[in-house]
């Protein structure tokens, strides 16, 4: 059963929160982060993407980059931009984007739960990215960005959260330039904190990583190292936990994660369409964007026209949680056998476009001549994600895109008094 704990969060002063909070480190490249943080000296990007302090082309994994993150973090403390709460609390974090509202509980989740698979995963992690975040954590002593977790809805938890956000004034409330509203309530009531900790332990058999597999893995590996370095640990030390935001599954929004491909793998247009029609029913839709409205349905943009592709029966396993996914159907029936893309993680002929950019981004990249063809996919459902995680399997790469993104720096978890 899920173990969570309150913790003394480190937060920006309410009037400075909008200047401090930043997008996660892994949703933009270095140049985008440098531009985003320009003229924003308090932005947490200076901490989570500390390589922006150095000239373009500088080694982002150099030791001084991580020391720079620690330096920038200490500066926010010294300047009284951020301060630590006096006692361990839980926090409620609500986001509103284009009418969609999701309300999560910010807590410290158990490292031991991660290793015991009570925190369930659906993606592989890459060692180089794990090492990057581990070095960052060791240099700063903090978990700078939360792991995005979900869990099956529990009515009593929902009711407690609803009462708090209805009856109490928020501690922090601001809207970011992208139109997302961020609201934080600090839960100081000791009895309610204990009740929520109890409910998670008794009613939530597992939590699921929605986003942040590398943050979760890195936090847990650093925690394990500290356990081994401190054999008399009690289990309640901060290094036994990682920063998380836990959302009820019913509130989450997964949007499409689409594909664009540079060329037709040497095929003529006629050969390309003939091969597609072996596995898909194909219908011309014209110049208006075609968005898939159900599973097994795909949009394709080619030569200024949109097409609807529908996977034919027998081209995918109905009851296989992984190979029955639309991303797998697209990979196994089109990208691999027709376009020759064997491993989408390493093949530079394919790129991935988050649905937040809209279908217009797909047609734009094809019309520009950069790409030859684009494919729009129906989003993975949260039930599919949970089913795959429960089965012990992993999703194909670039399967899910969650919006809105959690902000870094809004609530920080200090797990170590200093670097080690």
What CATH number is given to the structural domain containing 347?
3.30.1760.10
Which residues are within 8 A (CB) of 415 and not within 5 positions of it... i.e. 6 or more apart? 137, 141, 142, 143, 219, 222, 223, 226, 238, 239, 241, 242
Tell me if 90 is assigned to some domain: yes
Residue 27 included in any domain: yes
Confidence (pLDDT) at 419: 42
Together in a domain, 172 and 274: no
User: Looking at the structure, do residues 67 and 191 belong to the same domain, yes or no?
Assistant: yes
Those residues whose C-beta lies under 8 Å from the C-beta of residue 181, and which sit 6 or more positions away, are 94, 95, 96, 97, 173, 174, 175
Q: What single string gives the DSSP state of each residue in 42-107? A: T-THHHHTGGGGS-TT--TTSHHHHHHHHHHHHHHHHTTSEEE-SS-BEEEEEEEETTEEEEEEEE
Q: Please indicate, yes or no, if residue 389 is contained in any of the structural domains.
A: yes
Predicted structure pTM score: 0.90
Strand partners, 299: 308, 376
- 120 pairs with which residues across the strands? 208
pLDDT of residue 418: 57
77 and 224 assigned to the same domain: yes
Question: How do the pLDDT tens digits run along the chain, 420 residues long?
Answer: 999 999 999 999 999 999 999 999 988 899 999 999 999 999 999 999 999 999 999 999 999 999 999 999 999 999 999 999 999 999 999 999 999 999 999 999 999 999 999 999 999 888 999 999 999 999 999 999 999 999 999 999 999 999 999 999 999 999 999 999 999 999 999 999 999 999 999 999 999 999 999 999 999 999 999 999 999 999 999 999 999 999 999 999 999 999 999 999 999 999 999 999 999 999 999 999 999 999 999 999 999 999 999 999 999 998 899 999 999 999 999 999 999 999 998 899 999 998 888 999 999 999 999 999 999 999 999 999 999 999 999 998 889 889 999 999 999 999 997 543
Token reading at 222:
């650093």
Clarify whether residues 300 and 408 are in a common domain: no
Q: Are 243 and 263 members of one domain? A: no
Same domain, 168 and 280: no
Overall number of domains in the chain: 2
Same domain, 39 and 176: yes
Same domain, 211 and 296: no
Q: Name the strand (E) or helix (H) holding 208.
A: strand 207-211
Give the DSSP letter string of 287-320: SS-----STTEEEEEETTEEEEEEEPTTSS-TT-
Same domain flag for 237 and 310: no
- How far is 282 from 312, CA to CA, in rounded Å? 10
Q: Specify if 184 maps to a domain.
A: yes
Residue 419 belongs to some domain of the structure: no
Give the number of other Cβ atoms within 10 Å of residue 353's Cβ: 23
Q: What is the crossing angle of helices 127-140 and 63-78, to 10°?
A: 40
Residue 314 within a domain: yes
Q: Is 116 within a domain?
A: yes
Residue 264 lies in a domain: yes
Q: Are residues 121 and 219 in the same domain?
A: yes
3 state SS of 377:
strand
Task: List the domain range (segments joined by +) for residue 107.
Answer: 4-250+403-414
Q: Are residues 109 and 258 in the same domain?
A: no
Give yes or no: residues 395 and 408 share one domain.
no
């Amino acid at each position: 059963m899920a173990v969570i704990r309150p913790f003394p969060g480190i937060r920006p002063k309410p009037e400075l929160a909008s200047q401090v909070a930043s997008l996660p480190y892994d949703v933009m490249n270095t140049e985008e982060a440098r531009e985003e943080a320009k003229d924003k000296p308090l932005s947490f990007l200076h901490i989570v993407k500390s390589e922006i302090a150095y000239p373009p082309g500088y080694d982002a994994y150099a030791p001084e980059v991580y020391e720079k993150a620690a330096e920038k973090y200490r500066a926010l403390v010294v300047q009284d931009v951020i301060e630590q709460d006096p006692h361990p609390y839980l926090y409620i974090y609500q986001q509103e984007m284009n009418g969609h509202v999701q309300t999560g509980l910010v807590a410290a989740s158990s490292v031991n739960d991660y290793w015991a698979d009570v925190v369930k995963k659906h993606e592989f992690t890459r060692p180089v990215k794990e090492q990057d975040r581990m070095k960052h954590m060791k240099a700063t002593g903090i978990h700078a960005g939360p792991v995005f977790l979900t869990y099956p809805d529990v009515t009593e938890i929902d009711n407690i959260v609803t009462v708090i956000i209805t009856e109490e004034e928020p501690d922090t409330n601001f809207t970011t330039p992208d139109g997302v509203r961020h609201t934080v309530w600090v839960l100081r009531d000791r009895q309610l904190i204990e009740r929520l900790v109890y409910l998670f332990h008794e009613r939530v058999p597992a939590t699921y990583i929605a986003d942040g597999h590398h943050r979760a893995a890195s936090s847990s590996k650093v925690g394990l190292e500290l356990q081994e370095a401190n054999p008399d640990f009690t289990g309640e030390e901060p290094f036994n936990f990682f920063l998380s935001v836990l959302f009820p599954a019913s509130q989450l929004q997964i949007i499409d994660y689409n594909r664009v491909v540079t060329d037709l793998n040497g095929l003529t247009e006629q050969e390309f369409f003939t091969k597609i029609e072996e596995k898909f029913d194909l219908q011309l839709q014209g110049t208006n964007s075609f968005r898939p409205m159900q599973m097994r349905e795909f949009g394709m943009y080619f030569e200024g026209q949109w097409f609807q592709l529908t996977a034919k029966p027998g081209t995918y396993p109905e009851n296989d949680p992984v190979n029955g996914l639309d991303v797998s159907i697209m990979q196994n029936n089109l990208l691999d056998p027709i376009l020759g893309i064997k491993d989408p993680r390493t093949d530079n002929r394919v790129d991935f476009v988050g649905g937040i950019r809209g279908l217009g981004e797909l047609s734009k990249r094809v019309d520009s001549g950069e790409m030859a063809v684009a494919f729009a996919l129906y989003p993975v459902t949260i039930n599919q994600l949970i089913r795959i995680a429960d089965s012990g399997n992993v999703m194909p790469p670039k399967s899910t895109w969650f919006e809105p993104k959690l902000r870094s720096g809004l609530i920080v978890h200090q797990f170590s008094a200093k670097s080690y």
